[in-house]
Amino acid sequence: SSCLLLPGGAAAAARPDPRGWREAVAAAVGALQAGGLVAVPTDTVYGVACLAQDSRAVRSIYSLKGRNGKKPLAICLGDVEHIYRYCHVNVPDELLRDLLPGPVTLVLKRSEELNGDLNPFTSLVGVRIPNHPFIRELARACSGPLALTSANISCQASTLTVSEFQDLWPQLSLVIDGGPIGDVQSPECRLGSTVVDLSVSGKYTIIRPGCALTSTVEILRQKYGLIPESS
C-alpha cells in the first residue's frame, strides 16, 4: 500500500486554523475505515493504530509487529466516558480522570461490546487515552475504539520519530508525522506508558513501570488507598 507522509501534523494543531490538521485526521479516519494501519504520534512514543472492532485489521497489526498472538493490544479512546462502554470499571470515575488522558495504560475487565477477536485469550483489556491532541481527535472521529501498539517490531526499541520505523512504512496505509516526541536522546522517553492493572477492587498491579510510575503509584496509593497486589 502506498505510504503517505503528512509532515507537521502536530505543528498544525497549534495554529488557529489547523486546516492541515483536519485533513490529516480525515485522511487517517478514511485509512482506518478501509481496514488500514495508521502510524500516529502519542504522548509517549509513536504508535500504530487500527479499528479494534475490525478483526482483519487486528490480525494485520500482529503480523506487522512480528508479534505472537498472546501479547495483548491496548485500546485507545478519545475520552474517559467512552471507557464504560468497553470495560467494566470498578474504580471511581475521578481516579480515571486523575490518570487519563496521560502516559498510563489502565488494565480493566473488558465488556461484551469489545471485539472478541481482540486479545481473545484474556478477559482484561488495557485502555489508553494519550495526552496528545491528534490521536484523541482521531479516536473521537472513529465510531469504535482504536487498537494501539507501539510503532516498532516486537522486542526492538520503541520509536520517537517517524524515520525510526521506516522499515514498517510499506505495510502502513498512512504515517502521520507529528515531529519528534520527547527527548530523542533520553532512554526514559522510550519506556512507553506505565501499565497498571486495576481489575481487582481495591488493588493495583504494575505490569510495566513505563515513564509515569512514581506519579501513578502516588495517586493510586495516597489519594485512593489502593494497595499493591502481592505478586
pLDDT at 122 over 60: yes
Residues 6+ apart with CB under 8 A from 225: 202
> In this predicted model, what pLDDT tens digit does every residue of 168-208 receive, in sequence order?
999 999 999 888 888 777 777 788 999 999 999 999 999 99
- Find the CATH number of the domain harbouring 33: 3.90.870.10
Given this model, what pLDDT does residue 13 score?
37
Given this model, what pLDDT does residue 42 score?
94
- More confident position, 1 or 119: 119
Of 9-23, 35-49, 102-116, 148-162, give the lowest mean pLDDT range.
9-23
Of 49-53, 135-139, 156-160, give the lowest mean pLDDT range.
156-160
Question: Residue 82 carries which side chain, given as an amino acid letter?
Answer: H
Average pLDDT over residues 195-222: 96
Query: Which one, of 35, 10, 135, 12, lies nearest residue 78 by Cα?
Result: 135
User: Over pLDDT 70: what percentage of the chain?
Assistant: 90
Domain span including residue 33: 2-228
What's the pTM? Answer: 0.89
Confidence of residue 5 (pLDDT cuts 50, 70, 90): low
Specify the number of domains making up the chain. 1
Q: Are 127 and 74 in contact (CB under 8 A)?
A: yes
User: Over pLDDT 90: what percentage of the chain?
Assistant: 73
Confidence of residue 69 (pLDDT cuts 50, 70, 90): low
> In this predicted model, what pLDDT tens digit does every residue of 14-51 receive, in sequence order?
333 456 778 889 999 999 999 999 999 999 999 999 99
Given this model, what pLDDT does residue 8 score?
40
Beta strands in the chain (DSSP E): 4-6, 38-41, 46-51, 74-76, 87-88, 104-110, 124-128, 146-150, 174-176, 194-197, 203-208, 227-228
Given this model, what pLDDT does residue 2 score?
37
Length of the chain, in residues: 231
> 66 is written with which cell numbers?
512480528
Query: Which one, of 200, 219, 229, 228, lies nearest residue 99 by Cα?
Result: 219
**Mean pLDDT computed over every residue of the chain:** 88
